[in-house]
């Protein structure tokens, strides 16, 4: 059965059925999170003067490039991020903004918890 699922992507087996709600929050809902981030990235580019026709593909290609690197064997998210973050550079300034008071991480944690809780509730309703 694993080969059937892997025909359309990667497949993982969970030791405990209860982890399926966590997988739903991360992987099931995750594409929407990335689309929302790309939407916000493109909108910020437009706010800074880019045309929507340029900002959208730049955001999409940036996501594609980052995802391609993340899916390489042995890829480490922290190493990938730090490799493109020059000390005291533009990227470092943006990362510092995201990391201020762990803002982005707290937001992601809250979103994952909301998706996890809703997935559990939907399981009970069915």
- The pLDDT tens digits of the residues spanning 88-124 come to 999 999 999 999 999 999 999 999 999 999 999 998 8
Residue 19 falls within a domain, yes or no? no
Say how many domains are in the chain: 2
Q: Which domain holds residue 63?
A: 31-76
Residue 41 falls within a domain, yes or no? yes
Pair (94, 119) in one structural domain: yes
The rounded radius of gyration (Å) of the Cα atoms in the chain is 18
Residue 50 falls within a domain, yes or no? yes
Of residues 6 and 84, more confidently modeled: 84
Pair (72, 92) in one structural domain: no
Residue 122 falls within a domain, yes or no? yes
Residue 17 falls within a domain, yes or no? no
Burial of residue 25 (CB within 10 Å: 0-12, 13-18, 19+) is buried
Pair (69, 106) in one structural domain: no
* pTM score of the predicted model: 0.86
Per-residue pLDDT tens over the stretch 33-65? 999 999 999 999 999 999 999 999 999 999 999
């Amino acid at each position: 059965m694993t080969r059937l699922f892997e025909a359309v992507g990667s497949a993982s087996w969970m030791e405990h059925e209860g982890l399926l709600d966590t997988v739903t929050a991360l992987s099931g809902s995750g594409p929407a999170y990335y689309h929302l981030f790309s939407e916000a990235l493109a909108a910020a580019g437009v706010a800074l003067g880019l045309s929507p026709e340029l900002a959208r593909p730049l955001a999409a290609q940036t996501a594609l490039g980052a995802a391609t690197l993340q899916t390489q064997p042995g890829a480490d998210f922290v190493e990938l991020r730090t490799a493109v973050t020059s000390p005291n550079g533009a990227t470092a300034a943006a990362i510092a903004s995201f990391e201020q008071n762990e803002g982005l991480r707290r937001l992601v944690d809250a979103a994952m918890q909301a998706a996890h809780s809703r997935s559990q509730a939907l399981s009970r309703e069915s």
